[in-house]
Structure 1
Amino acid sequence: MADFQKKINSGALGGVAAVAVVAIGFLAFTAFTTITAGSRGVLLTFGKPSDRVLGEGIHFKIPLVQSIVKIDTKIKKGEIDTGAASKDLQDVTATVAVNFHPDPERVNILYKTIGLDYASRVIDPSVREVMKAVIARYTAGELITQREDVKNNIKTQLQARMVTFNVILDDFSIVNFSFSKGFTDAIEAKQTAEQLAIKAQRDLERIKIEAEQKITQAQAEAESLRLQKTNVTPELIKLREIEMQTKAIEKWNGQLPTYTGGAMPFLNLSAPK
């Protein structure tokens, strides 16, 4: 009986030892956490965030007492649709793209004050609020013609706003501006009218140039005729007559004409006497 009791006690001790070994192994395994590239860690002690941010690598934590929240700090991209009113009270719908990431050195404060859903709680509202404020400073036409200036103003204000939430804005772009159908039709009509006006101006310039060319050509021809008349002299006329006679002689074949005429009747020079 005593031996049996000893075996029970021994088995119990062995079981306890085995459990202890497993527990120690489990605790040892969970005591270390790896922070991968592009991430940071927030150490929590009984749920309270630490003032220290954990960088990339292996970190120790006290099992059952501490835990580590991993936060992705790589650049994220989002597209947001928002509506606003322009300075001249035109309804404007805009689609914008934002690239952002949490400030790696302040993720503990971000987690403590906002949490992991900071994109929906900070980015979206900030973009919509800044868009409304900036768009209200421009007319609908200026939003089209000064689009780059509008973009830069929005980006500057958005950067200043987001940094207060420990989020860094990497890039901002306006994907599209949309207006009411009436305003869009008016813009298209204006562009068509401007294009027609440009074409008419070009046609007018072309006609003017062609007319000037014809005038110049006519003036040149008139001047040529005037010079020719001025240069006609008796000597020149005599010279032209001599040139014509010379050419006629060159063409003569040496035979007298069969008939000749004048004051006397025509005679047949080839008839026998």
Structure 2
Amino acid sequence: MEPNNLKRVFRIGGVVIVLVVALFIQPFTYENIDAGNVGIKINLYGSDRGVDNITIVTGRVWYNTWTTKIVEFPTYTQNVDYEPFVITTKDAAEFQVDPKLNYHVNANLVPQIYRQYRKPLGEIEQQFMRNTIYDAYRIVANSFTSDSVMSNRERFEDKIQMLLTKNLAKDGFVYDQLTSAITPPASLRRMIDEKNASIQARLKAENEAKQAIAEAQVSKAKAEGEAAALLIKARAESEANKLRQQSLTPLLVQTRMIEKWNGQLPTYGTVPQLFKDITKE
């Protein structure tokens, strides 16, 4: 190969190598910020280095990786299942709480969140937000007795939600929902079970007493009805007998006696019986 051609090949090869190296080490790239996320631009150099006060909208964002950093925060609802912890009530009873928090990030305050914590959202959830939840339970529990926590569960959780809403909102987090499984101490659980069993037994006894009273009233009404029926029947028979006796005249008695006579001469004792038979008719 001629020297001029050889130089040309080396020159072209050098240019290609330089272009390839430049392509790999060049600082410009882009970030796709998906819907439901917010990206913030962080300047690494210069007088205005730090978190910009401008929230990057969703879409493709070009930036210089040597001088700029893009951090992405999700703004859709997050669900965090925390490890259980123990809180103490005013009367020193220990309750176990297993909280689950639903929240989302206030998109307008994303720069403030990063400026304050300088950590990914996952770390913020397990540190700041967990401590906020624990403090809310601890503060509210100190104003309740163990018995009132169980008997006023709705008011207890309402106070916690109000406190969480206030404290999370200050740092750019919007409270959505809190689900908490509260487990009382074993001794209180036994007391509650015994109390419930006592209430159930009392209600059962009251129902049985009401049923016995109702059955007695039915029996009484039935007996009174039967007695009234017998009385009416007796009165009717008495009235009928009176009417029969009033309708018997001497002539009618004689006629009846003749009809009843069997042809034998009456003896002592048969006449009264014959008269009695006549009066029954």
Distance, in Å, in 2 between the alignment partners of 1:45 and 1:5 is 49
The runs of 5 or more residues in structure 1 that have no matched partner are 240-258, 265-273
1:202 aligns to what? 207
Verify: 1:225 aligned to 2:230, yes or no: yes
1:171 aligns with 2:189: no
In the other structure, the counterpart of 2:193 is 188
Partner of 1:211: 216
Q: Please report how far the alpha carbon of residue 31 of structure 1 lies from its aligned counterpart in structure 2 after TM superposition.
A: 3.2
1:57-113 CA distances to partner (integer Å, 9 max, x unpaired)? Answer: 011213422121222333221223121122333211111110122222222221111
1:36-47 alignment to 2 at 5 Å? 36-46=34-44
Q: Cα distance 1:108–1:237, how it changes in 2: closer, same or farther (>3 A)?
A: same
Task: Tell me by how many angstroms 1:119 deviates.
Answer: 0.8
**1:201: Cα distance to partner?**
0.7
Deviation at 1:162, TM superposition (A): 0.7
Gaps of 5+ in 2: 246-261, 268-281
Deviation (angstroms), 1:205: 0.9
Query: Which residue does 1:62 correspond to in 2?
Result: 64
Q: Which residue of 1 aligns with 2:165?
A: 159
**In 2: Cα distance, 1:130 partner to 1:261 partner:** 117
What is the deviation of 1:130?
A: 0.1
Displacement of 1:228 after TM fit?
A: 2.8
Q: Tell me, yes or no, if the aligned pair for 2:27 and 2:65 is still in contact at 8 Å.
A: no
Q: Structure 1 residues 19, 221: closer, same or farther in 2, change over 3 A?
A: same
Letter in 2 for 1:213: V
Q: Is 1:102–1:167's contact at 8 Å kept on the other side of the alignment?
A: yes
Correspondence list, 1:121-160, <5 A: 121-160=127-166
Computed over aligned residues only, the root mean square deviation of the Cα atoms, in angstroms, reads 3.2
Mapped to 2, the partners of 1:20 and 1:55 lie a distance apart of 35
The one-letter code of the counterpart of 1:158 is L
2:113 to 105, 110, 114: 110
Percent of pairs with identical residues: 15
Q: 1:43 to 1:217 in 2, by over 3 A?
A: same
Give the aligned length. 245
1:224 shift after superposition: 2.4
Structure-2-length-normalised TM-score: 0.74
**1:42 and 1:127, CA in 2 relative to 1: closer, same or farther beyond 3 A?**
same
